[in-house]
Structure 1
Amino acid sequence: MKPGIHPAYGPVVFRDSASGTAFLTRSTMASDKTIACEDGNTYPLVDVEISSASHPFSTGTARVLDTGGRVERFERRYGAR
């Protein structure tokens, strides 16, 4: 890699604002906020709106659409054939 043109790649903590869960990983994102982890080190903190800890698909709380109501409404409007 060419020196001086790539962003710094290092440990960053991503915190889910919906569930409060924090993930320590590596990224090129930078932040002015910091957080002290249980390992005694301080890392940059990036707050995210949604993650795998709060996304409905990952948590199993996804809603199922009522397709039966749509079909009945269509048949009422245009008649069943």
Structure 2
Amino acid sequence: MQQDKHPDYREVVFRDRAAGYAFLTRSTATSDRTIEWDDGETYPVVDVEISSESHPFYTGKARTVDSEGRIAQFERRYGGGTGQGAE
């Protein structure tokens, strides 16, 4: 591996703004802001809009697609299955 080609890999705090949740992990992300963590150390902090704590898929609040309703809407709009199209 070539030296001085890859960014620094260090511990960074990611803070979910939607859920008010923060977690410490290793990353190459950079930030000018810092936060003091539970262990007394100061780490760079990166604010994110969504994480596994607030994402609908992981929280169980995901919307389900009404496929039957979409098919009925398609058939109403385009007359599907009635033979009105090609002769």
> What band does the TM-score fall into relative to the shorter chain?
0.7 to 0.9
Post-superposition Cα deviations, 1:51-70, rounded to whole Å, max 9, x if no partner, equal 11111111110001122222
The structural deviation recorded for 1:50 is 1.1
Which residue matches 2:85?
A: none
What residue ranges of structure 2 are gaps of 5+ in the alignment?
Answer: 83-87
The structural deviation recorded for 1:24 is 0.2
Could you tell me which amino acid in structure 1 is paired with residue 36 of structure 2?
A: A
What is the TM-score when the length of structure 1 is the normalising length? 0.84
Which residue matches 2:5?
A: 5
Which residue matches 2:64?
A: 64
What is the TM-score when the length of structure 2 is the normalising length? 0.79
Q: Identity over the aligned pairs, expressed in percent?
A: 62
The structural deviation recorded for 1:8 is 1.3
The structural deviation recorded for 1:10 is 0.8
Compare CA radii of gyration and give the structure with the larger one: 2
Which residue matches 1:14?
A: 14
Say if 1:76 and 1:4 are closer, same or farther in 2 by CA, change over 3 A: closer
Residues 1-81 of structure 1 correspond to what in structure 2 (within 5 A)?
A: 1-77=1-77, 78=79, 80-81=81-82
Could you tell me which amino acid in structure 2 is paired with residue 58 of structure 1?
A: Y
- How many residue pairs align between the two structures? 81
What residue ranges of structure 1 are gaps of 5+ in the alignment?
Answer: none
Moved over 2 A (4+): 1-6, 71-77
CA RMSD of aligned residues (A): 1.7
The structural deviation recorded for 1:18 is 0.9
